Structure 1
Amino acid sequence: MAATGSPPSRRIKPWLLWLVLALAVAAAVYAAYFFRPIAQAAPPPLQAQGGSVAAGRYLAQIGNCAACHTAPGGAAHAGGVKFKTAFGTLYSTNITPDRETGIGRWTYGQFHAAMKHGTRPDGSHLYPAFPYASFAKMRDEDIASLYLYFRSLPPVAQRNRDNEMHFPFGNRALLHFWKRLYHKDAAFTPSPRHSVQWNRGAYLVEAVAHCGACHTPRNMLGASDESRALHGGAYVDQVASGEYRQWAAADLTPGQHGLKDWTASDIRDYLLSGRNRRAVVHGPMTEVLASTRHLSKADADSIAAYLRGVDAAPARWDFSALRSRVDEGEIVYTVHCGTCHLPDGKGDRILGVPLIRNPIVQAKDPSSLINVILYGPDLPPPPFNSGRANMKPFGKRLSDEDVAALATYLRSEFGNNAPQVSPDQVRRQR
């Protein structure tokens, strides 16, 4: 017998209509925000800034401009330095005042926009490998001083090299959305809770010297994770053999895995001379020393006060139960390392640096430690004097398994606490 009666109601529920409407409005607002042009306030006139060439020279020195814009054997500030990233290979640009190949035609407003907003004179976006995310915090007076300084340099006619970006990152328009997500153009604001010295150090570290560009972890889109500022990061640079490999920048906070045992004097000495009682500058940090050695003593003390006063990175879990081959690593250490670094890791005052609670040894990423073992520390050229014997490379003497065991031992002893190192991690650094 056939069923009778009316079919069930298929009316859309009112709450579902409201949900669809709310989502549509949210999508419209979201799209309007992300697709609208990014506002760029024009700076005050250059003449009103009070900048000077002398101030700009000092800022350029401590901001490490020469290291990034001077290729090996090339003219100063003429560009061509190679930067390998996960998004492709970039080359720094000519920032001399040459009118055809440099920034000689740039107005102060265009220079200010590059530093503050990461845009070129034609309005296209600069890649954040140029650390405008940090430079945006600089005061207008300091940006004006840099402009005056670069305008005073001798022009060098050298065309910029084309970048070699992976698809689709060669499209600069995509950076519009990156900036919407991550870029803030507000100038540094002093904290009323801290001293003048601490605030000066914060300004130098966060803005001018852009320390976080290397020492702060980045997310998958290349933006700094400010919730872990200065906790240690990773980047690609040359090792002593000339090849490009990953490096790990140390934790700069006063936490257990960072600079807990460093005094303010230790930090100041390291910045000004490249060495202190606990460490000797090496690897890519040698280029940074070429910058920090120009710091005034007062500014070096300010940076030290700031780094001693930031929040410490949280302590890690004890990884000792997860480590293997520590005994093999101790044998490798005793044979090859113990003479200079001593059985207790305290380091001989003439031969080897201390390994006790060493920020490089116990960095979350072991790349820098592995590089030092494989290729040696790659110290600055003379007249730099480390005050200690120069460690030889062990890459040809030790197998990947031996290096992994040694690194794991170092990261397990002498008060260090970091994950085990595998032979595969060593192979990636070869």
Structure 2
Amino acid sequence: MTHRRLWFSGFAVLLILIAIAFAIVWRPAIDEIREGSAPQVDAAQIARGYELAQLGNCESCHTAENGAAYAGGRKMETPFGAIYAVNITPDRAHGIGAWGPDAFARSMRDGVSRDGTHLYPAFPYTHFTKLTDSDMSALYAYLRSVPAVAESAPENELPFPFNIRALMAGWNLLFLDKDQITPVQGEDDDWNRGRYLVEGLAHCGACHTPRNAVGAEKSAAFLAGAEINGWYAPPLAGAEAGPWNTEQMEAYLANGFSRAHGAAAGPMGETVGNLAQAPRADITAMATYVASLTEGAAEELAAIDNGVPEDMDAAHTLWTGACADCHRNPVRDQGGALNPSYGVPLSTGAAVRSSKPINTLRTIAGGIDAYRDVGGPYMPAFEDSLTSAQIADLARYVRARFSDQAPWEDLQERAQDILGQVDPDENREGDAQ
């Protein structure tokens, strides 16, 4: 009798656990809206939604290389496999054309698609959940206005068990913080607006905050710097963050350049291209908040030049031939303004000061062309004219000459990875532009 009772008790507990698990995992589908039945919106709301989309970097993430805007297909590498951004145009079959406002808001706030499937946090709903109702409605209105594209994104490339979307229900239970951002008393409107954007729609922490073993941002290391997509998003807060003031940060976010800190490259260069289309007041607000995170940091960085390092004659020759003319002397335009492509002190830039060499290596290899979009700096790419060994030597040279930090390790291997070049003695010839 006792064994039977134990068996029934255990079975009852199992059923309860299954019911709890089902309640946590299951999300109902939200009905499709009828064609032509989306809420009516005015031009002002769509225009505001466009601005919000720029602040959220939506087009960059949801557009494949040479693809139609917002049609998805962009590949994002993660430690768990590759995830492809989905189509968010108003196409009914392939995009979100059949999604009503409630379905859109649920995906943004809960990470759950219209059909009830769980999304992966490569889509930063952990930040978008902070959006106000009015901003959510404006963003929805704008995305309904873009051209519909009948294209599906490729299937994600995730191995077992990461391809089981239901696991995200447990992840959300542990890591999804849906508390809204409320104004902080004693801070001005710019600071509070900036905090709302940085921690919410602009999702700065998605790149600049390190993640734990299961891909959640480490809240205790907010904006403390992280490697992502082959680049290092430098710290904006914490002991290793460089000192920014509001004016410097505003210029950097709007134009991709601050003479005191350097130039935006890689994913940040793309982000600046979007932020340049956003209202300047919002950029000022973001700059105000981010700059406040380094209050009390060291004084503004002084330029460093230690002279030609010993035993680096070959690298010095490379520097003289490829770099010195642009980096040595400032150039002013006819109006007297400094040209952002000349005379920039490398010693104050985050890339050369960083504990990680990847941004310096990638910038030497890939260059910077922010002037094309936002009037920022230009630097030619050297990936087709220098070997990985030469790029590594240049990085070692600028670190030794223009910083007071310890030498970087594994430069050769990292440069080979960036170029996809196995043979370090291979000669690469071509146009460096």
Candidates 268, 271, 279, aligned match of 1:285: 268
Corresponding residue number in structure 2 for 1:248: 232
Q: Is the aligned partner of 1:382 residue 2:372?
A: yes
Cα offset, 1:233, TM superposition: 1.2
Conserved? CA contact 2:111–2:118, under 8 Å: yes
Cα offset, 1:420, TM superposition: 2.3
Q: Which moved more, 1:266-275 or 1:356-365?
A: 356-365
Conserved? CA contact 2:273–2:374, under 8 Å: no
Corresponding residue number in structure 2 for 1:272: 254
Corresponding residue number in structure 1 for 2:146: 153
Cα offset, 1:269, TM superposition: 1.3
Q: Report SS of the residue matched to 1:166.
A: coil
* Unpaired segments ≥5 residues, structure 1: 1-28, 41-45, 237-245, 316-325
Instruction: Give the superposed CA RMSD.
Output: 3.6
Q: Is the aligned partner of 1:133 residue 2:126?
A: yes
Q: Which amino acid aligns with 1:421?
A: E
Corresponding residue number in structure 2 for 1:302: 285
Residue by residue over 1:87-114, the C-alpha shift from the partner in whole angstroms, topping out at 9 and shown as x without a partner, is 1111111111111111111121111110
Residue by residue over 1:201-228, the C-alpha shift from the partner in whole angstroms, topping out at 9 and shown as x without a partner, is 1111111111111111112211111211
Q: Which amino acid aligns with 1:417?
A: Q
Corresponding residue number in structure 1 for 2:353: 362
Cα offset, 1:336, TM superposition: 2.5
Conserved? CA contact 1:197–1:305, under 8 Å: yes
Change (3 A) 1:227 1:341: farther
Corresponding residue number in structure 2 for 1:26: none
**Distance in structure 2 (CA, Å) of the matches to 1:327 and 1:360:** 22
Candidates 395, 408, 416, aligned match of 1:420: 408
Change (3 A) 1:232 1:55: same
**Distance in structure 2 (CA, Å) of the matches to 1:403 and 1:31:** 57
Cα offset, 1:348, TM superposition: 2.9
**Distance in structure 2 (CA, Å) of the matches to 1:419 and 1:143:** 47
Q: Which amino acid aligns with 1:157?
A: A
Which structure has the greater CA radius of gyration? 1
Q: Which amino acid aligns with 2:293?
A: V
**Distance in structure 1 (CA, Å) of the matches to 2:83 and 2:296:** 31
Q: Report SS of the residue matched to 1:361.
A: helix
**Distance in structure 1 (CA, Å) of the matches to 2:177 and 2:373:** 41
Conserved? CA contact 2:223–2:235, under 8 Å: yes
Residue by residue over 1:361-387, the C-alpha shift from the partner in whole angstroms, topping out at 9 and shown as x without a partner, is 2333322222123x1324247355445
Candidates 24, 29, 40, aligned match of 1:37: 24
**Distance in structure 2 (CA, Å) of the matches to 1:227 and 1:132:** 19
Change (3 A) 1:358 1:277: closer
**Distance in structure 2 (CA, Å) of the matches to 1:312 and 1:428:** 37
Equivalent positions of 1:41-80 (< 5 A) are: 52-80=45-73
Change (3 A) 1:341 1:257: farther
Cα offset, 1:407, TM superposition: 3.1
Change (3 A) 1:72 1:406: closer
Change (3 A) 1:136 1:259: same
Q: Which amino acid aligns with 1:90?
A: I
Conserved? CA contact 1:234–1:365, under 8 Å: no
Conserved? CA contact 1:52–1:149, under 8 Å: yes
Corresponding residue number in structure 2 for 1:191: 184
TM-score w.r.t. structure 1 length?
A: 0.76
Cα offset, 1:152, TM superposition: 2.3
Q: Report SS of the residue matched to 1:417.
A: coil
**Distance in structure 1 (CA, Å) of the matches to 2:315 and 2:361:** 14
Cα offset, 1:398, TM superposition: 4.6
**Distance in structure 2 (CA, Å) of the matches to 1:359 and 1:291:** 21
Q: Which amino acid aligns with 2:367?
A: P
**Distance in structure 2 (CA, Å) of the matches to 1:82 and 1:302:** 31
**Distance in structure 1 (CA, Å) of the matches to 2:407 and 2:115:** 48
Q: Which amino acid aligns with 1:429?
A: I
TM-score w.r.t. structure 2 length?
A: 0.76
**Distance in structure 2 (CA, Å) of the matches to 1:132 and 1:219:** 17
Identity fraction in percent: 35
Corresponding residue number in structure 2 for 1:101: 94
Conserved? CA contact 1:258–1:358, under 8 Å: no
